[in-house]
Amino acid sequence: MCDDDYRPRMSVAQLGKLAAQRLVELRAEGEELHPVVNTTRKLAAHFWGSAWMRHLAQCEAGGLCLAPGRTLLRHGCVLDLRISPGHISARVSADALYEVSLRIAPFDAEQLDVLKAACCGKIDSLVSLLEGKVDSAVLRQLCDPETGLLPAPSDWCMRCTCPDWCEPCPHAAAAIYAAGCLIDEDPSLLFTLRCVDPSELMSAPDAAAAVSDFDTAALSSTFCIDLDFE
């Protein structure tokens, strides 16, 4: 556990200014970066992003030190963040530029079977699943803090190049919050992160056929993203 009263060596204004300067310099050097900035109070506006943020609030109420991450995120310190199966990588600017790696323990076969059983016959379409517009009992199962899609604190394996001893360090916490912002924009990233094929949770008897017959153009238009679940 770390002290909730996080006091960086620099003011938050200085941290934000330095982060902006680093972003410009790194891009001038040819770096391809995907910064995440969110200054809104709730940090998320859609179902899965909001569920992620509520889950983090519950983790924080349980003693996990996450508040410093919100501060860094809101001041533009997450210069790069990428989500891949079971992994979040980030570059976070603070007094120095730190590399963050967050790995999440995958579901075992039994856990995945529980999710599939809870969803069986209750999800009409991929869009409804990604929008969180499905049966309330299904949503409770998918958002269960112990067995659902949202990773529990024990699921995380965190590494950062900073010298901070607490877990999560402020930079890892910033990456966790930033991941929630990306999931809010593109909820398919939550399924990518948890290595779960959403088609396996759909109601159609032949999930693969349901996905191939689905209007992917409409889905991409809904979320302004390209999705390929093959």
**What does the pLDDT read at residue 228?**
56
Would you place residue 3 in the very low, low, confident or very high pLDDT band (cuts 50, 70, 90)? very low
Quick check: bond before 106 cis, omega within 30?
no
Interaxial angle between packed helices 170-185 and 47-61, expressed in degrees from 0 to 180 and rounded to the nearest 10: 160
Higher pLDDT, 35 or 213: 35
The bridge status of strand 97-104 relative to strand 156-160 is antiparallel
Mean pLDDT of the region 83-106:
96
The residue written with tokens 């709730």 in the block is 42
What is the residue type of 30? Answer: G
**Max alpha carbon distance in the chain (Å)?**
57
Quick check: bond before 168 cis, omega within 30?
yes
**What does the pLDDT read at residue 199?**
84
Do residues 229 and 198 make contact, with C-beta atoms less than 8 angstroms apart? yes
CA–CA gap between residue 124 and residue 127 (Å, rounded): 8
What is the residue type of 107? Answer: F
Q: What is the pLDDT of residues 155-197, one digit of tens each?
A: 999 999 999 888 899 999 999 999 999 999 999 999 999 999 8
Do residues 108 and 120 make contact, with C-beta atoms less than 8 angstroms apart? no
CA–CA gap between residue 229 and residue 198 (Å, rounded): 8
Do residues 178 and 35 make contact, with C-beta atoms less than 8 angstroms apart? no
The half-sphere exposure of 61 on its side-chain side, counting CA atoms within 13 A, is 6
The residue written with tokens 């506006």 in the block is 45
Ranges 31-35, 57-61, 164-168, 222-226, most confident: 31-35
Q: Specify the DSSP element, H or E, that contains 88.
A: strand 87-93
Share of the chain above pLDDT 90, in %: 56
Query: What is this structure's pTM?
Result: 0.82
Average pLDDT, the chain: 85
**What does the pLDDT read at residue 105?**
87
Distances (CA, A) of 5 to 66, 67, 73, 94, 99: 11, 9, 17, 16, 23
Do residues 28 and 81 make contact, with C-beta atoms less than 8 angstroms apart? no
